[in-house]
Amino acid sequence: MAAKLSIGSIILGILIVLMALLLVAVILVPDKIWKEEAQITNQSRANMTAVYEAEQFYYKTHREYTDSIPKLLEFVRNDSTLQQRQTLVSLTRSFMKVVDNIMNISSIKQISNLSQAAFEITGDLLGNRRYFRKYTEQNFEGISLEINREMMRFDSSAAFPNFCRTKLFVDSLRNLRDKISDYPLQNGILHAIHYADSLKTYYGSIEKDAVTEFWNGEYKKINDFIGAINKTDIKSVSSVGDRLKKFIDRISTSLDAINAANSEADLNKIISESQNLSELHQKFLSPKFFILTKRYGLTGLNETDSILVNLREEQFYCPDSKLPYIIDTSYQGKLTVESPNLLDDFHQKFLESIEPVRDLPLIEQIDQLDTVLEKTKTVLNENKTLIRKNTDLLLSLKELLVEMDAISNVFFYKYTHELKNFIQILDKEKKLSVLKPEIENILNPMDTLATRIETGDVRDLETKLHYFDTKLKSLDSASMAMRLPRRQKNKLQSNAEVFQPVFDILSQIKAGFNPSYAEALRQAEKSLEHNLLQALEGKKETVYVIFKKKHINHGFIRQGVKSWEEK
């Protein structure tokens, strides 16, 4: 008994462990699968964007697209203008890095912070004058103007001229950094060298005690002004008091950091970075970069250039199916880059959907009708040259030719033709970008054609054919009544005679209506719609025994429009 209990306990323990593992899997595995699906989709669409941009780049030079991956890669990698822009970005960033190194020197950074906070204070005081004017008794406007005047001593003061000059060149260097693209690189770096050299001259002699003494008095004055403001209703309509307090505290913090800084070490860093600027300037003037650095700074490549610079061969292949993306210009001459994923599977299902209606007698009968119509138009055109001197008759003939071309607007004829054309497209085309709109457009004609077959309704076509017959016979009578030379009159052909077989074809169409054909059309319609929805939804694959991973077609890009971004 004990042995049985022991074995039972072991089995129960194993089951508990297995159930625990299964529970963990149910929690973790789906999330892992979803992330893989999203990563593949995002990568595939990024790849298609890269291929599309590469094709457009190629087209600008060659005025044609190419489906050769090696040719496209070689062209992009060897393009001199793209390489120049990439080099210009690299040189600009080298310049920015040295400027950033200077601006990040501890005391220089604090002087910059102090300067920006002082600028904010003057801006806030000027921006809130409309509130200060209301308090004439407290003289808020006068106090604010006085504070602004005194804040200007940071820019020009006999008590601490070296600090003012240092602040000036720190501000200039910061503005240069912010607007580096507004300068040709050679000009910009000359400005930077001047500012750095000036910092070397003045920074080591800044008057820390004098600046601190000035600010201590100014801090008290502004702080008292803040207290007075906050006792009025200005506080309810403006945050000027809170902002001023934030900025004066920032100046105090920066000034404390400047006073505590190792001035000698910071000066040595300025000297070192100034030398780096001089060396970079010589690089800009070298024969290799001289022409390029006369151009304006470029802090980064645009999105398209970034894509092209990083173009790799693997981006031409779908990460899911490993098949190359479809590069096509057959659709109205427009470039399309499309995912190849699952197209063979989808196409096979569409073919199966349409198979029951592929050989409908109606399709062959409409073909026969077209043949007769074309023969009739040929005779009309041949007769046209013989009756050209009779203006009225010639005009009637031309009008009839136009009307015969417009038979495509007769619904029964139109829907049958659309079905025939759809089958032809489906036989030669796999791309979902083409088949999706074609399937969506054929569903209603198929349904309407099924109804027409059920009801035997071919009246619009019959009416139009009898109309043509009447017009053709009228033309024949008028032509025969014309006075023409015998040789010319003998060449005239009967317009109506060549047209007569259409009525036998019409009789065959009417006699051949069969409810089973209507049912086949409706079944094909439903199957096409169902398979299209499945194609758009994707295909699921069993993974890890019990889980499903979805594979989808990742869409296409046509004329810059991405299918996955369309509404």
Domain ranges of the chain: 81-306, 343-537
Phi–psi pair at 70, nearest 5 degrees: -60, -40
Q: DSSP code of 180?
A: G
The per-residue pLDDT for range 289-313, each reduced to its tens digit, is 999 999 999 999 999 999 999 999 9
CA nearest neighbour of 495 among 387, 413, 417: 387
The per-residue pLDDT for range 252-264, each reduced to its tens digit, is 999 999 999 999 9
H or E element at residue 178: helix 161-178
pLDDT value of residue 24: 60
Distance (Å, rounded) from C-alpha 101 to C-alpha 176? 14
CA nearest neighbour of 506 among 362, 360, 406, 403: 362
Q: Is the model's pLDDT at 505 over the cut of 50?
A: yes
Range from 63-77, 323-337, 363-377 carrying the lowest mean pLDDT? 323-337
Mean pLDDT of 119-135: 93
Q: Is the model's pLDDT at 212 over the cut of 90?
A: yes
Mean pLDDT of 216-221: 96
Which residues neighbour 501 within 8 Å (Cβ) at sequence distance 6 or greater? 368, 372
Give the chain's largest Cα–Cα span.
Answer: 125
Q: How far is CA 321 from CA 327, 340, 389, in A?
A: 16, 8, 67
Is the pTM higher than 0.85? The answer reads no
Mean pLDDT of 400-426: 95
Query: Whose structure tokens read 């077959």?
Result: 453
pLDDT value of residue 543: 79
Strands 547-551 and 326-331: unpaired
pLDDT band at 378 (very low <50, low <70, confident <90, very high): very high
The per-residue pLDDT for range 141-172, each reduced to its tens digit, is 999 999 999 999 999 999 999 999 999 999 99
HSE-CB for 388 with a 13 A CA cutoff = 6
Report which residue type is found at 529. Answer: E
Residue 263 neighbours by CB distance under 10 Å: 16
The per-residue pLDDT for range 440-488, each reduced to its tens digit, is 999 999 999 999 999 999 999 999 999 999 999 999 998 888 887 888 8
Mean pLDDT of 552-565: 93
pLDDT value of residue 1: 47
pLDDT value of residue 462: 96
pLDDT value of residue 33: 82
pLDDT band at 567 (very low <50, low <70, confident <90, very high): low
The per-residue pLDDT for range 2-35, each reduced to its tens digit, is 455 577 677 777 777 767 666 666 665 677 888 9
Crossing angle of helices 240-260 and 208-229, in 10° steps, is: 160
Please check whether residue 340 is in contact with residue 324, taking contact to mean a CB–CB distance below 8 angstroms. yes
